[in-house]
Structure 1
Amino acid sequence: MKRIGILTSGGDASGMNAAVRATVRKGLSMGMEVYAIDRGFEGLLDGNIEKMQWHSVGDILQRGGTILRTARSERFRTEEGQERAVSVLDTFGIEGVVVIGGDGSFRGGMELSRRGVHVMGIPGTIDNDLAYTDYTIGFDTAVNTVLAMISNIRDTSSAHERTSIIEVMGRHCGDIALHAGLAGGADDILIPEIELDINRACRRILRGQQSGKRHSIIIKAEGVPVSTAELRDIIEERTGQETRAVVPGHIQRGGTPSRQDRVLASLMGAKAAELLYDDEESKAIGITGGEIRACGLEEALQMKREFNPMLYDLAETLA
């Protein structure tokens, strides 16, 4: 394969730029031409495509977000839009595309694959909700961001002797809440994988008060089926302790990527370029057991994520 494209799609995740950099430079080092597709599938439909050089990806390794930008594309969801996307790629002579994003982005890539385009999927999403890989790009940075918030909120919660509920992102996956809660010493962790028991949460707070604990920290994943405001009111009423809700929102998406995300993104980006150079069929690139591996793109999308209760049980014990 001589000419490839690269795009980022869906929600941004720290480490996407590192993946772009690795794909471009690895591709160029093997003699391929690499083209940036600006604004995801929407930009592809508009032909927003630019040839990349070695210096095009200089000074981006440490930056959050994505220099290629990202956008939703309702047009691409239609068969007409997908056919147009393939036509645009043909016009530029692009034989394969690296798609960096989450499951929605991978499904978009799958539509291109069904029309003959070789697609390499790199998991760029803070949610860590793709079943075929142990970790996604951006997850580690998001967890570290939440950890810093936990430390700051703990200081003020202790000073005011209150309960604080921190709502974190993750859609229907509780990994950010679970990992940040365990590493941050949260008193309780509420995730969609475990049935919500508000009474249990209240009992933990009351037991803490009885043992002399002046404050409590609860980490709640956004996928838990009760609003954070409602949960705050219930806990305050049942425990008698002032309770505050903190929703950091998109702060979790941005910021300088962690060492782990930079390395992971670099390994995955280089692997994507290698697979396209070898004219491999469409693949999803991930990490399992510490090794960078690739499986069929369609196979990856069909995998069901299995929740491992070990970390949750440990967090419960240590809290």
Structure 2
Amino acid sequence: MKAIAIRQYGGPEVVEFTDLPDPRVGPDSVLVQVRAAGVNPVDWKVREGRLDGTFDVHFPLIPGWDVAGVVRSVGGAVTEFAPGDEVIGYVRKDSVEHGTYAELVAAPVRTLARKPAALDWAQAGGLPLAGLTAYQSLVKALRIKAGETVLVHAAAGGVGHLAVQIARALGARVIGTAGPRNHAYLRELGAEPVAYGDGLAERVRELAPGGVDAALDLVGGDAVAVSAGLVADPARIASVADYGVAARGGHYVWGRPDSADLTALARLADEGRLTVTVASTLPLAQAASAQALSAEGRTRGKIVLLVD
């Protein structure tokens, strides 16, 4: 199969488009013909070796954890899916080696759900990691309820634009930080935009004089500290970027593969309450360029690799 291989840590120059053996399919896995693979910041961070102390990494490795595609075959113990089924998945395994930047991926059934019909392949490929991170932060960590006000830092990004929509679907009011060029976009999603940077807390209080009920940090920096001055209960602060949030009484969130949560996201999409903004699509062979674009940190929505 054609795939992206990384044989050593480094910059975009170590990304190789090559032929690799087809993956083996275990008894509780399915073989997915990849149609789209979302590009996430964690992908280039893996390439640079930043997660070397977190995961066992085996070279050559295929990067990528997001997938949308068609089931080609199933393992002997699989009853959930059949060949021909269209699926999405957050195919994060216990080690980094066999990822989704490839024509084929062997995916454990625990990482998969049925593809929402409302999303095209590119949108579906961009949903799993970012969608699960947003959903699990809002629903499981922050326990957002209807009528609450939520502050989302970096609300126009890959996770952020999904968090805005999920919070709105839960019945919450959303205040989202973003640069001025993304303010109209956030209004379209149903959020009230504020500019990030110095004076953020004061700008938020102009919209919510009593502060906010909960805050979700997707950018790091001083976002958690600012949130602490706006949220009465520190347990209502979650961050995906700042480990130190736990010391303040909040929640550090790393999205987990979860079929039920993926299914909930797919249901929101099919109900018309969640969509995925795709900033750009590139062919699999241009994965290095896609990762470089992601590393710039200015993407509105998602970058997705398309696989023929």
Shorter-chain TM-score tier? 0.3 to 0.5
Bigger radius of gyration: 1
Say which structure, 1 or 2, has more relative contact order (CA 8 Å, 6+ apart): 1
Structure-2-length-normalised TM-score? 0.40
Structure-1-length-normalised TM-score? 0.39
Structure in which a larger fraction of residues adopt helix: 1
